[in-house]
Amino acid sequence: MNRLQQTLVLAGTAVVFVGGAALGTQLLLAPTGADSDDIATCETQAIAVGDLVQSSMITVDIFNAGETAGLANRVRINLEDRGFLGGRIGNSGSDVSPANVAILTDNQEDPTVQLVASQFNGDVEFAEPDIDTEDAVTVILGSGYQDLRADAPTEIEAGQETSVCVPTIDLENPEG
């Protein structure tokens, strides 16, 4: 390669680099179009006494307090197969450490809590929430987790009034 070709290649590379840096900076600093706090992620739906509460109405957050890696994810996938909406998963930040399963709730008579609790084999404990449980039923899996019941219902009749937060989808802007 002669000196002129080297100079042209170097100049071309510099132009591409400067142009890419300028475009990247512009994209990084561009407004998103909407504040994420202003976008509703779900719509509250009231459920009256006697109405059916279906698994497809309930978001379930699942946290692992045991030692089995990937357990929360596997349980979420299995609950999604039953129609539940998969929420957050991960290792538990709660101080609750159940033998089998615990549900964090202020109201264990809530039909959404009852439907989720009915999915599990073995004893299900109920505990006061000590982590965020907003818009979901929060499940803590213990070291002695005993799996899901094969014959568990996917809907129950509401014995008391409750509400669920059904996820919304903006059809005009599906990516948010």
Please check the confidence at residue 166 and state whether its pLDDT lies above 90: no
pLDDT for 40-96, tens place per residue? 678 899 999 999 999 999 999 999 999 999 999 999 999 999 999 999 999 999 999
Residue 148: DSSP 8-state: B
pLDDT for 116-153, tens place per residue? 999 999 999 999 999 988 889 999 999 999 999 999 99
Do 104 and 96 meet the contact criterion of CB atoms below 8 Å apart? yes
Rounded to two decimals, the pTM is 0.74
Residue 95: DSSP 8-state: S
Residue 168: DSSP 8-state: -
Which of 20-24, 82-86, 153-157, 166-170 shows the lowest per-residue confidence on average (mean pLDDT)? 166-170
Residue written as token pair 């803590």:
140
Do 113 and 105 meet the contact criterion of CB atoms below 8 Å apart? yes
Please check the confidence at residue 157 and state whether its pLDDT lies above 90: yes
Residue 162: what pLDDT? 94
